[in-house]
Every structure is written in structure tokens, then in C-alpha cells.
Amino acid sequence: MTTQTIQTPTGRVSYTDVGEGPPVAFLHGNPTSARLYRHLIDALASEYRCIAPDLLGFGRSEAPLEGSYRPPSHASRIEALLSSLDCEHLTLVMHDWGGPIGLAYALRHPNKVQRLVLLNTWAWPLNHRPLIQWFSRLIGTSLGRRLFERANVFARLVMPFTTGPGSALFPSWLLSYAEALDTIPRRRACWMLARSLRTETAWLRNLWTRRSALRDCPALLCWGMADPAFGSESTLSRWQSFFSTVTTHRYPTIGHYIPEEMGPALVPPVAQFLRSTAPRPS
């Protein structure tokens, strides 16, 4: 994918910008990169302008030793990027932490956002999820940080645990993301997002309390139901009950990393949603 960059106060953020047509921005989470969306981008670039940034610390972006890798900081950098590209009638495709980060932009610029595609993500505090709280508290310790930074434990142990039975035991894409976390700052960026599942409660609560600005935005939910973190019906129904216009696809054997686990099979439902919700010519 062709790479472009934008300079932010904390480092260079790299992004893909290919194709022509209505803009679609793809936002990844932890510990992936724009690579997560390669199948969708390859298929959609003939009809849409596809914009896929790598969060600071991930993929092709810089990983400064002293950079802030908190979600609000990522959201500020994504807002700067999308504002610089002057995107109108934007569709946001969001996975994992890409959901809260993307919705932070959408809630500040609801007039610029036309559609939302949500893939195993959330946008509210997770203090009602004991397993997630326990995990985030554990890795927030000094031992947890060392395991992330020295042993790359998230990519090598946590990611395989969250894939569904429809995937191979250790598919090659898992190794690609593990190898990409090749420096201490990159593993620190991964650690910070995992820790933030518990520590960013106030920021997430603020997002969710402002959600009404997006209620009438058409939404597509593509959900890996075998995701041990966010694959429950309760998570899915929370999104469904919010949007006034929502389309849902459930995938029983797919886990958390749905764009990787489904690969090109994710293209048809996303493409159909984009075409079916396109604005009618005036």
C-alpha cells in the first residue's frame, strides 16, 4: 500500500490514501495496523477513496520513546489527519480501539460523517466486565509491563486466545503483528492501549454520553461471536438498540480480529452496505 505521512507534535503518522470516490477511513486497534484492512481496501479502492492510518507506535508510523499512546492522544492525531484531508460524507470503519478513537472524531464532526461500520468494538466504560478489568489491572503492574515490553506477551499469547475456532491454530497473520512490535516503544504502545481498558473510563464515559449526535447515522455491525472479549449478544445489542438504522451480520466461529479471520469474505457485506446507503442523486 502506498504510504503518506503527516507530522504531529509527537511523531509522524503514516497512512494509506488510495482510490477515488466517497471517502472511507479505516481505523485499527491493538496491536494491529492499517494492514488489518488490506482485503477491504483492495476491493473498495475502485469505487471509494480509502484512507487507512497507522496509529502512532504501530505499523508504518513512528514510535517515539516519549510519545503519548493513550487513546485520547491517538484520537487527537486522527482528528488532525482527517481534518487535513478535508473529508466530507465520510464513512468510518472501526475495529477494537479504533471504535472509540473514530467515534471521538465523529462526535466532534457529526456533519462530516455519513456512515459507520463497527467490527467488534465498543465506546463505553468497561467496568462492568470483570474479566477485562482483571486483565487490564494485571498488565498495569510493573510485571505486566515487563511482560509486554520484553516478551511481547500480547501479540504472542493474548491475540491467539481471542481468535475463533474458524481460524488456524496460529495463523500467519498473527506472526506478522508480533514481528511488527519489534522495539520497546512499539510494545509500550501496545501495553498502553491494553492498560487503558481500565484507566480510560472517564474518557469512554464522556464519549458514550454524547452518542446521540450519531443516532441517525446508518450503521453496519459485523460481529465475530466467538470473541471472548466483545463477542457477546449484550455488547451487540447495546449497539443495535442505539442506532435508528442498523444492519447486523453475526459470524459464530469468528473471534475478535474479524477482518483478518474472515479475510476477503468480509468484503461483500461491507460493499453492499456502502452501496445501499449511498446518498441518492439530487
Report d(CA 138, CA 155) in Å as an integer: 16
Q: Residue 238: which of 213, 256, 219 has the closest Cα? A: 219
The CATH number fitting domain 4-276, selected from 3.40.50.1820, 3.30.70.380, 3.30.420.40, 3.30.300.340: 3.40.50.1820
Q: Is 6 exposed, middle or buried (0-12, 13-18, 19+ CB in 10 A)?
A: middle
Whole-number pLDDT of residue 282: 37
pTM for this predicted structure: 0.96
- Chain center to CA of 279: 25
Whole-number pLDDT of residue 119: 98
Whole-number pLDDT of residue 2: 79
Report d(CA 256, CA 231) in Å as an integer: 7
Any idea what DSSP says for residue 55?
A: P
Whole-number pLDDT of residue 66: 87
Q: Is 39 exposed, middle or buried (0-12, 13-18, 19+ CB in 10 A)?
A: middle
**Which residues does the chain have with pLDDT short of 50?**
281-282
Query: In the chain, where are the structural domains located?
Result: 4-276
